[in-house]
Amino acid sequence: MGEIRLYEREEIERVIRLDTHVIHEIETAFSDLTTKNVTMPPIMRIDVPENNGEVDIKSAYIEGKDSFAIKLSSGFFNNPDLGLPSANGMMILLSSITGEPKTIFADNGLLTDLRTAAAGAVAARALSRENSRTAGVIGTGSQARYQLEALVNVRSIEMVYVYGRSAEKAAAYQRDIESRLGLKVEIKNSIEEVVRSSDIVITTTPSTEPIIKSEWLHEGLHITAMGSDAEHKQELEAGVLEQADLFVCDVKEQSLRLGELRSCANQDTRDFAVELGEITSGKKSGRANNQQITVCDLTGTGVQDTAIARYVYQLLEKWEDDDHERS
């Protein structure tokens, strides 16, 4: 049995960026779900209700690849009150030839954050108007930052509207985004104001009840909802899905079980839901015109985890080879 390498977050951060390369890897993973044989078991989740926490285990093997990932990720939503991030976790990369563990990524949830944000960019490129200039973000945590950082790779955003329950955290978000990304950020007093003002809206909350209402929708709007990934969560009113001209999800079966489709009883909406990989692979069309209202529900998939684990493994190998040559 070969040596198992361990990489910690600091080492991973040294080689990976939330850029067009990462977005391409995740887009390819979505296409693989449609064009290749992918073994992707249902998500296993452990709830820890007394501490407002949950742990998910995800994995996927993509036909023809020599390795695949098993990912453990946690979300403990009281952590910010303790001065800790909500998200954490790790990934294990295994050989799909021998089953031997190759690498452990003790990334504290970094790779999950990056692949989730990249998925949002994939959705925005396929579904939002190309001339979108304003982005609305619901939530002020780490994913609210990563999603916007990914979005600017695919759309020329000029103005950001943000809503957060905490005025202090919203102000901190404003300072961070204006400093790092050079974008103007305006704090709104309500979610409705954000939705009505934005070309693209991104929801990044663990909400258990709808926070976006159908009467707020407007022509040309795109919404990416990535917060609902469990049976008790919901960010979008069912009417939002029903009113959309195009409803897309990462995996329909997961959206029906864990995502926004679960709360939508409209059979036509369920029947005509499109998977994101069908669009990225060219089998179906994305946005058809600038008037459509489009919605994408991202529940998170094991194929994204395998894709980013394999990608960062290649980057780390190259870094070490280059480092060896330098020395």
Q: Residue type for 302, please?
A: G
- CA 85 to CA 106: how far, in whole Å? 15
3-class SS at 85? coil
Q: Residue type for 123, please?
A: A
Q: For 143-161, what is each residue's pLDDT tens digit?
A: 999 999 999 999 999 999 9
| Cα–Cα distances in angstroms (integers) from residue 176 to residues 11, 112, 200, 203, 277, in the given order | 23, 21, 20, 18, 33
Given a cut of 90, whether residue 3 has pLDDT beyond it is: no
The three-point CA angle 204-31-42 to 5° equals 60
| Residues with catalytic roles | 71
Q: Which residues, in sequence order, are CB contacts of 275 under 8 Å at separation 6+?
A: 30, 33, 34, 248, 249, 250, 251, 252
Given a cut of 80, whether residue 324 has pLDDT beyond it is: no
The three-point CA angle 242-257-57 to 5° equals 135
Q: For 230-250, what is each residue's pLDDT tens digit?
A: 788 999 999 999 999 999 999
Sequence-ordered strand ranges (E) for 168-309: 184-187, 200-203, 222-225, 246-249, 274-275, 294-297
Going by pLDDT thresholds of 50, 70 and 90, the confidence category of residue 326 is: low
Burial class of 162 by CB neighbour count within 10 A (0 to 12, 13 to 18, 19+):
buried
Question: Which two structure tokens, joined as six digits, stand for 203?
Answer: 């929801």
Identify the CA nearest to 16 among candidates 326, 322, 308, 327.
Answer: 308
Given a cut of 70, whether residue 312 has pLDDT beyond it is: yes
Mean pLDDT of 249-269: 94
Backbone angles phi, psi at 130, to 5 degrees: -65, -30
Within 10 angstroms of residue 131's Cβ, the number of other Cβ atoms is 10
% of the chain beyond a pLDDT of 90: 92
DSSP type of residue 288: -
DSSP type of residue 219: T
Q: What is the pLDDT of residue 31?
A: 98
Q: How large is the C-alpha radius of gyration of the chain?
A: 19
The chain-wide mean pLDDT, for the chain, equals 95
Question: Which two structure tokens, joined as six digits, stand for 122?
Answer: 């994939």
Mean pLDDT of 211-229: 96
Q: Which residues, in sequence order, are CB contacts of 12 under 8 Å at separation 6+?
A: 105, 107, 110, 111, 312, 316
Q: For 18-62, what is each residue's pLDDT tens digit?
A: 999 999 999 999 999 999 999 999 999 999 999 999 999 999 999
pTM, 2 dp? 0.94
Buried b (16+ CB within 10 A) or exposed e, 181-212: bebebebbeebebbbbbbbbbbbbbbbeebbb
Backbone angles phi, psi at 160, to 5 degrees: -120, 130
Given a cut of 90, whether residue 217 has pLDDT beyond it is: yes
HEC profile of 176-195: HHHHHCCCEEEECCCHHHHH
